Each structure stands twice: as C-alpha cells, then as structure tokens.
Amino acid sequence: MKALLMFFICAIGLIARAEPAAGFGAAIPARYSAVSSAVMQYRWFKFPALGVLTVDSPKRHFALVGLSQLGINVFELSETNGHLKCRMPGGFLKRHPQIAEGAAADVRQMFFDLAPPAGAIQLPDNRGNTAVFRERTSAGTTEYRFDRNTGFLLEKRFSAPRKFLPGSSVVWRVLYEDYAAAGRNSYPRVIRFKQRTRDYAITLFLKEMRVNP
C-alpha cells in the first residue's frame, strides 16, 4: 500500500513538471509603447505623473519617464544594454540612497521575463483557475501565477531567505490586472509593483498601448 501511495505521489509530481509553460505569459507583446498615469511612492512620499513607457523585451530595454502636468521630468527609470538609470527630483536620491541602489533593477521585473523559464516547476494547485510556476536559484525563488483559462500573467513575486530566521520572505511582487486587447496581443491596464525591502511602490495605469514591430 505504501509503495502504491509513493507511486501516485511521484506520478503527480511528474505531471506537474511535464505540463508545458510555453502557453503562459505569451499574451503581452514583446515590444510596445504606452502612455499611462503613474504613481511612484516611497513611504509617505508620492510622485504622481503622466507616464511614458517604452519596452523592448528582446533587447532588454525599458524606459519609464514620469512627467508633471507642466512637462517637467518627475522621475526616470530605464535600462539600456545593461546600463541602469534612476533619476528623481532634486536631492531626493541623496537623502534616500536605498532607492537609487536598486530601483531600476527592481522595476525591470515589471516588464521582463514574464513567462516561466524552461526549468520552472508547475506546482499542484487546487484553487481552480490559477496555474503556478516556481523557479529556484541560489538567490531565492521566483513564482509566476497565471489565469489557467486565458494564460494571462496575474502575479510575479520573488522571495529570498531571511537573514536571521528560518524560511523566506517576499522581496518584491508585481500584480497585473484588467487585461485589454491590443491587436493580436493583450496587456494589463494596471501594473502594481511593490518592493518590500526598500519600501517603495510603483503603480501604472496604461491608457494607450501601441504594439511595436
């Protein structure tokens, strides 16, 4: 009886690993530009702005520029050819260097690697329409949650081991909400990013999407 139970446990594990992840995360276009309203928040500081977003996933490029109603640059986060840039108003970054240390590197998670890698394991899930994939590395664990029916990415989160306590805790998470059509693709009209370690958040409300060739 014990041997039979172990057989079924192993069989379930193989099924979870065998289901392909290729159909998930493919809805969002690889290259696009969008106009949005954006809010960057650090503790009690808020920087609302009109956001101009450009993403080219194959080239690992993104640029998010926040402009005031007068057209003044409020903030800029970007990555081009591995070079990260973070700009904020006045002496804000000097007073809060923890934002400059990792903001652009963190925010890239909103736009890149939106599908589970080939080595990700699909977790058994009894909650209905959610498909969950998990990738473990030496740095921590990345988890992808998808709508099983549409293949739309719902959440991406990264957890790392605690320094002084057993287990792990969430470092950052991204929520993708309210999908709409964009030609043959779909995109989330709301993207919410939360960095718990450095205690800041960015929310994007995408209003106009243009898929680039």
pLDDT confidence band for 8 (50 / 70 / 90) = very low
Q: In the chain, what percentage of residues exceed pLDDT 90? A: 24
67 with 75: CB under 8 angstroms? no
Angle, vertex CA 20, rays to CA 15 and CA 26, nearest 5:
150
In the chain, where are the structural domains located? 22-211
Determine the topology of domain 22-211 in CATH.
outer membrane lipoprotein receptor (LolB), chain A (2.50.20)
The pLDDT, as a whole number, for residue 183 is 81
pLDDT confidence band for 105 (50 / 70 / 90) = confident
9, pLDDT greater than 50:
no
- Note the maximum CA span of the chain: 73
The pLDDT, as a whole number, for residue 17 is 38
pTM of the model: 0.82
Q: For 10-55, how does the pLDDT look when each residue is reduced to its tens digit (9 = 90+)?
A: 333 333 333 445 556 667 888 999 998 988 888 777 878 888 899 9
Please state the rounded mean pLDDT for residues 122-138. 82
Whole-angstrom Cα distance, residue 196 to residue 210?
Answer: 31
The pLDDT, as a whole number, for residue 90 is 58
186: its two tokens? 């779909």
The pLDDT, as a whole number, for residue 92 is 64
More confident of the two residues 12 and 203? 203
Whole-angstrom Cα distance, residue 170 to residue 161?
Answer: 9
Which secondary-structure segment (H or E) carries 18?
A: helix 2-18
The pLDDT, as a whole number, for residue 100 is 61
Please state the rounded mean pLDDT for residues 65-69. 83
